[in-house]
Chains A and B, each alone.
Chain A
Amino acid sequence: MNYQKLLPLFFVMTCLVILTACWDQRLLRDQSLILAIGYDKAENNALKKTVTFPKNTNAGSQNDEQNLSEQGSNTLSVIGNTVKNAENKMDESITEKFDRSKARVIIFGTDLAEEGIFSTLDSVYRDLRGPLHANVVIFNGEAEDALNIKSDQAAITSDLYGDLLESADKAGITKNKSVQHACPIILGEGKDLVLPYLSIDEPKDEVVVEGVALFHKDKMVGSLNIYQSTMFLLLSKQLAKYTSLNFEVNDKEKDPIKRFVDFKVQKNKRHIELNTDDEDIHAKIKMEIDIEIDEYAANHLSDEKKMNKLRRKIEHKLNELAEETITVTQEANSDVLGLGEMLKAYHYNVWEKINWEEVYPEMNIDVDFSVNIIRHGLLN
């Protein structure tokens, strides 16, 4: 290969080096990273956007350790017509440009969530740097208050929410949904969205998980409490790492602790039967779960008879809770289990004839749990 042949290569290489990101560079020092965003309904159909970002403790100063201790977050609320409009207004009031691409959580106030969340999220889906992985959360109250909370648990507000959601997800109380995961469910037919539902515990001024918020299309229509939401996760086969349940099984026992049993769910199997033979559609959900007893102060699990009795009691309690949970979702008309989706996939001719939104709240859904105690810890 002679020199002449190398010339174009040289030229291209030079171009590559010189031109890289000339126009599209975004320097960190010009941006202020937003880590949590809150949306609320404001007066006159406007939108209130609240953001929290780490305090700018003069980046690049020598004493990093001192910086760390002074860390905290600023919050800023702006009212605009749309999300982007509010964002532009924010830029007017702050020296740096806001960059939301690293946001961890997006919080909706209940008022806004009840009116629909999809149009607010539109700009996230449209933006090439939109924070698609941010978790969407509904807050009982105003998202602004949620972001203004001062907590000792985490230095930065966004971390507080991020960590809280993660631990709730692992404990099987809620299921985190990112902006991206929410989209197919909101837009799809025959399945409704469920998002974590948070609130502030007034006396202690701490953020707590209330359960999950139920949606119909993109509007919030109700909520499940913590027990119901755990049951919902079991029923929808989204078993978390440490799903545990607590039931009162011996109500005649004097010692209050002995009344309860606490167990972890190790494995769950689900079988759904949709019966469409006769006029009204009904569903039968058969659940098979393996559990491990964590705490049972009444003891005597070596006796098979007693063990079976306990097993039946747990089954009974589970069925009760499941029924309660499903009734709540039916009253809210939120098909969180995706039964409509199944009907559409496996009984398409039936699906075409009916209006699922009218059928779901009325239909019969039976749940039948069968429990298998596979371990009971170190004690009998």
Chain B
Amino acid sequence: MINKTEISAFQLVFLLIHVQIGVGIINLPYDIFLKANSDAWISILLSGMFIQLIILGYSFLIKRFPNYTIYDMHLTLLGKWIGSLIIIVYILFYIMSGSLVLANFVYYIKTWLMPRTPSWVLIGLMGLGAIFILKENLQIIARFLVLCSVFLIGFIVAAFYAFKFANITFILPVGSSGITAITKGIAPSFLSFQGFEMLLIFFPFVKASNRTIIKSASIANLFVTLFYTLLVLVSLLFFSKDELKLVPEPVLYLIKAFSFRIIERPDLLFTSMWIVLVATSFIVFVYGATLGVMTLTKTTRLNYVITILTVICFIIALNIKGVYNTSNASTLFHMYLIPIFIFFPLFLLVVSLIRRKKEVNNE
């Protein structure tokens, strides 16, 4: 256990929401649509339910080790060597997550907003902002995230406004793409939920009972699932099938298609809101990696760790260029997801059951 700062269950909800909702929301409908066709929204709902089951599974670990982060659990249960090795995998995973967020961020900003601004400026600004917030403790980060939730409302309002132009026949008849297509759509939608597993990193810092923690995580999951379903549904209803195949960022394109008397290009406004959502998930990813490094090295110099990690992300992100490169990097990264989501926690639970090990209560 590193920091004694505590956050409330309310803040945990927003922490989890913001780490999940990030860079991917603007192209999420497209990715799922490619697999699940016009039933993409069902895939999202199904994966939401699936994630909920995993969260319930996590509750067994949380019950056994109420004051340990997942890093501490690895060290205690698996011994110094294997535990450290797995923690390194986790750290690499979060560094990669952060870098991909930055790389995608720059890619979209360059296509949508500022084609001529060099990448290092954009990534650099994002990195500096992140360092600035990360230097504070978890409590302040959590407060910041709660504030940032205003921007989610913007997207929800835009989505409901888009229903004005919806064409219901685009998704009818429900289920026409078949069960196999819907199941295939679960894989890309699963990715978009990445970040919920950080519950296992943050729960010891929450000042609430285990039940409340699981409840908060479920609320966050419910919100994220519904939010994604809304975005996917609106994109499906707005674009016809063949058009959606051509539009890789349907959410922004949809907003670009609106025009109001005062705001002629609302997509610029929404891109700015989206930048904040990108920043929040980047911040939490780096924080997750930082906690790992601190558990591993037992250092207390938070500022150094944060700066180094951000710079690493900066360098990796600069080297992922272009749309094809980014998607290659993502595929590599996706192979980590299942172990991190399910395999490692499950393994820990089994080991702790076999070795009958529980947290030593020294308080």
Contact = CB atoms under 8 A, between A and B. Distances in A.
Interface stretch (B42-50, B75-83, B168-176): B168-176
Contacts of B239: 184
Contacts of B242: 187-189
B125 A345 contact: no
Interface string A125-136: 100100011000
Interface stretch (A5-13, A108-116, A326-334, A372-380): A5-13
Interface stretch (B108-116, B222-230, B352-360): B108-116
A31 to B, nearest CB: 15
B240 A187 contact: yes
B176 A348 contact: yes
Contacts of A190: 169
B256 A132 contact: yes
B125 A12 contact: yes
Contacts of B115: 24, 128
A184 B247 CA distance: 11
B125 A188 contact: no
Contact of B172 (A132, A188, A338, A345): A345
B125 A15 contact: yes
A180 interface: yes
B116 A23 contact: yes
B118 to A, nearest CB: 7
Interface in A99-152: 125, 128, 132-133
A155 interface: no
A247 interface: no
B167 interface: yes
B320 to A, nearest CB: 21
Given A23-B118, A24-B115, A345-B173, A12 B241 contact: no
A348 B170 CA distance: 12
Interface string A13-28: 0011001011110000
B332 interface: no
Contact of A23 (B117, B169, B246): B117
B129 A345 contact: no
A128 B240 CA distance: 20
A1 B355 CA distance: 48
A189 B243 CA distance: 11
A207 interface: no
Nearest to B111: A128
Contacts of A23: 114, 116-118
B113 to A, nearest CB: 8
Contact of B257 (A12, A180, A342): A180
Interface string B103-134: 00000000111111110010001001101100
A128 B112 contact: yes
Interface string A180-192: 1001110111100
A22 B121 CA distance: 11
Nearest to B240: A188
Nearest to B128: A12
A57 to B, nearest CB: 25
A12 B172 contact: no
Contact of A8 (B114, B131, B259): B131
Contact of B246 (A19, A21, A125): A125
A187 B128 contact: no
A341 interface: yes
Contacts of B132: 8-9, 12
B57 to A, nearest CB: 38
Contacts of B257: 132, 180
A165 to B, nearest CB: 16
A342 B168 CA distance: 10
Contacts of A128: 111-113, 115
Nearest to A122: B246
Given A23-B114, A128-B112, A188 B243 contact: yes
A183 B243 contact: yes
Interface in A1-60: 8-9, 11-12, 15-16, 19, 21-24
Interface in B10-53: none
A12 B361 CA distance: 45
A11 B128 contact: yes
Nearest to A342: B169
A80 B308 CA distance: 52
A348 B112 contact: no
B184 to A, nearest CB: 20
A360 to B, nearest CB: 16
Nearest to A15: B125
Contact of A345 (B114, B131, B168): B168
A170 interface: no
A274 to B, nearest CB: 12
Contacts of B238: 184
Contacts of A317: none
A9 B131 CA distance: 10
A312 to B, nearest CB: 34
A345 B169 contact: yes
Nearest to B242: A187
A144 to B, nearest CB: 28
Given A187-B240, A190-B169, 6 more contacts: A22-B117, A23-B117, A125-B246, A128-B113, A184-B243, A348-B172
What are the 5 tightest A-B residue pairs by CB atom distance, in nearest-first order? Answer: A188-B240, A345-B172, A187-B242, A345-B169, A184-B240
8 contacts: A8-B128, A8-B132, A19-B125, A22-B117, A23-B114, A183-B243, A184-B240, A345-B169
Interface of B: 111-118, 121, 125, 128-129, 131-132, 135, 167-170, 172-173, 176, 238-243, 246, 256-257, 259
